[in-house]
Amino acid sequence: MDIDGDWRKGSSDTMPMTPLAAPQGGTDRRLAMRYAPILRFDANEPFLPLAAGYTIFRESGASPSFQRGRVIDLAPEGESPAALAIEYAIWWDWDIGHLYELEHAWVYVDAQGQVVRAEASWLAGVGGVLLAPYIASQVRGTPLAHRLAHTYLSQRGFEPSWDFSQRFGFTPEMLIPWPALCEWMPGRVNAILDRLAAEISPSEYRFLRIGHRGAAAHAPDNTLLGIRRAAALGADMVEIDVQRTVDRQVVLAHDVHLRDAAGCYWPVGRSTLAELAAIDLGEGERIPTFAEAVETCRNEQLGAYIELKDSGAIPGVLTTLRETGFAGHCILGSFRPDWLAEVKAAVPQVVTSVLFSALNVDPVKLAQAVGASFVHPCWERYPHPSSLLTPE
């Protein structure tokens, strides 16, 4: 199989291609090919599908591949009944937001062979390697892997033309049973990561751009305005500090107190949200809740690096992340490794970071002990902090 494009070429030894030798049921494959969707892409889109894993439903049942859970219903109320449905799990090596994409199309066919309806999923994700449940244990989802994928994609950004004239149709060789595609996917992703590691030098890595306390040099600290200005300046994430008020509201604040216009100090942990919100932080900004900050990050398409300043804020932070589905776009950091252990125990998928200021500590062992993915040296009090870094 020869498919054009940098990441659509390769030998079976170095870059696993579509598993064409997978067992193919003649009738099912003919059905999959007959009703295969035609896709249209933006004229500037550089990434096209490579394969699709099909599943034939002759009775209603759960999708084997759609990870958010979906039941294929052949006779839903108010719709024309179908004799069968074909699910296409469509594989791309790359989406513009991440390494590999698996999207879905469903075609419903009646007893006369006519299409009675069709549905499709949508593209989503950002900046790294997707880790779907059925491949996560076999794929290297390390911080470095995410950086490699982000670097590759950042070199291939494009402006949409909004001209959807690029037409894509599946050939018979691209259609394989879903179990065969599922078995093949981890090897494909790992092979791409191996190639990226060999071809991209560390000096080329696209590091995360994280705005400090929002955009501290351009707006009041830890404010919604700061978050929006960080986005306008091209940040990937914003660093924010969280504490809990006396009425158990999680808010953004770095210091243990706020100071009002009269010079009075208001301790965050002993003040109500209403009392703190009465203080002008500059440019008319007021102290935001963590939930408001998350909503602003989502609207601005920013991630959040959340520093835990108060253990009492942890339950509220985790509740908000669960309710908003924002956990996958965050890093939670703290100088307290025990707090990070608590976070990981409650929400294992949250990425965490150990902050440390001492020079005579082994931060890697500290991070490993609590399951953290990152170490964060806070050495700004030293004259030349970068000189303290070692290759290790």
Q: What percent of the chain has pLDDT over 70?
A: 92
Of 342, 345, 343, the closest CA to residue 331 belongs to: 343
Give 347-361 pLDDT, tens digit per residue: 988 999 999 999 989
Kindly state the average pLDDT of the residues 355-382. Answer: 94
Phi/psi at 192 (nearest 5 deg)?
-65, -45
What is the pLDDT confidence band of residue 130, given thresholds at 50, 70 and 90?
Answer: confident
CATH number listed for the domain at residues 210-388? 3.20.20.190
Q: What CA–CA distance (Å, rounded) separates 244 from 252?
A: 9
How far is the C-alpha of 269 from the C-alpha of 310, rounded, in Å? 9
pLDDT of residue 25: 58
Mean pLDDT to the nearest integer, 212-216: 96
Per-residue model confidence as pLDDT tens digits over 251-296: 999 999 999 999 999 999 999 999 999 999 999 999 999 999 999 9
For residue 24, the model assigns a pLDDT of 54
Contact 53, 89 (CB under 8 A): yes
- Its sign, for the CA torsion 189, 194, 195, 199, is positive
pLDDT interval class at 1 (50, 70, 90): very low
Give the pLDDT confidence score for residue 127 in this predicted structure: 62
Tens of pLDDT, residue by residue over 33-54, are 999 999 999 999 999 999 999 9
> For the residues of 298-334, what is the DSSP string, one character each?
HHHT-EEEEEE--GGGHHHHHHHHHHHT-GGGEEEEE
Which of 18-27, 257-266, 306-315 is predicted least confidently?
18-27
Q: Where are the domains of the chain?
A: 6-204, 210-388
Between the alpha carbon of residue 10 and those of residues 1, 149, 180, 191, 206, the distances in Å are 10, 18, 19, 10, 25
Q: In the predicted model, what is the mean pLDDT of residues 318-331?
A: 93
86-126 confidence digits (pLDDT tens): 999 999 999 877 888 899 999 999 999 999 999 998 754 45
Query: What pLDDT, on a 0 to 100 scale, did the predictor assign at position 6?
Result: 39
Q: Which residues of 306-329 are buried (b: 16+ CB within 10 A; e: fewer)?
A: bbbbbeebbebbbebbeeeebbeb
Average pLDDT over residues 227-251: 97
Q: What is the pLDDT of residue 158?
A: 85
The neighbour count for residue 105, using CB atoms within 10 Å, is: 19
Task: Specify burial of residue 294 (Cβ count, 10 A radius: 0-12, 13-18, 19+).
Answer: buried
Helix crossing, 143-154 with 178-199: angle to 10°?
Answer: 80
pLDDT over threshold 90, residue 84? yes
Quick one: average pLDDT of 143-168? Answer: 91
* pLDDT classification of 156: cutoffs 50, 70, 90: confident
What was the pLDDT predicted at 17? Answer: 52
Residue 212's pLDDT is what?
Answer: 97
C-alpha torsion 263→256→272→270, nearest 10: -100
pTM reported for the whole predicted model? 0.78
What's the confidence (pLDDT) of residue 131? 78
Q: Output the average pLDDT for the chain.
A: 89
pLDDT at site 154: 87
